[in-house]
Amino acid sequence: MSLEAQNPVQFDDLYRDLILDHYRRPRHKEPLADATVAAEGLNPSCGDEIRVELRVEDGKVAGIAFGGLGCSISQASASMMTEEAEQRTVADVDTLSQQVQEMLTHEGFDVDAVEIGDLEALSGVAKFPVRIKCALLAWKVLDIALAEARGEQATSDSDIPVRIASTN
Ligand code: ZN
């Protein structure tokens, strides 16, 4: 018997339909024309890789795209991130990133208290400690890209190595 069959409710919580949809049909998974900043990162515990490209104009995320490979949670999280971040101000996207990371790392996080849209679908990940870094990866990469866009030095978490990349 598969793990999914033994724990149908639990796994339904992790692999919500929206997550599987983003994994199967990723949004913004293509090179971004005229990217102004790019960053990439690795989740060593699962082997997930994510690259994020941003085009920041007038303090706004005018364009965002990602590339990468890895498990469904890592790729869906990145795809959902690009949808929610596009056309928002850098400051708003920064706030969104902090809220999503709080949600992913705290089981029982009050999703109704924040405006995170479809990203709420990722809230179940908090119940699965081994998958949290998979979902966090895209956001850690986004953080360092946003910091670079603001001309700041981002601090990198050694658990999830991220770095600024070339935009070509
Ligand atoms: Zn993963």
Q: Per-block average pLDDT, block size 10, for the chain (168 residues)? A: 56 86 97 96 97 97 97 97 96 96 93 91 93 97 95 80 91
From ligand 1's centre to the CA of 65, what distance in Å?
Answer: 19
Q: How far, in Å, CA of 162 to CA of 2, rounded? A: 34
The alpha carbon of 41 and the centre of ligand 1 are apart by a number of angstroms equal to 12
**Measured in angstroms, how far is the CA atom of residue 131 from the centroid of ligand 1?**
6
> Of 87, 97, 137, which Cα lies nearest the Cα of 119?
97
Question: How many angstroms is it from 59 CA to the middle of ligand 1?
Answer: 31
**What confidence score (pLDDT) does residue 42 get?**
97
pLDDT on residue 158: 73
Are the CB atoms for 51 and 39 separated by under 8 Å? yes
Residue 70 CA, ligand 1 centroid: distance in Å: 6
Output the CA 145–ligand 1 centroid distance in Å. 21
pLDDT at 159: 86
Asked if the 9-165 domain carries CATH number 3.90.1010.10, the reply is: yes
Helix, strand or coil, per DSSP, at residue 8? helix
Alpha-carbon torsion 64, 146, 68, 105, what sign? negative
86 CA distance to ligand 1 middle (Å): 24
Residue 34 exposed, middle or buried by CB count within 10 Å (0-12, 13-18, 19+): exposed
pLDDT of residue 93: 97
Contact 20, 50 (CB under 8 A): no
The predicted pLDDT at position 9 comes to 57
Rounded to two decimals, the pTM is: 0.91
Ligand 1 centre to CA of 31 (Å) is: 22
CA separation for the pair 62, 136 (Å, rounded) = 23
Task: Give the chain's length.
Answer: 168
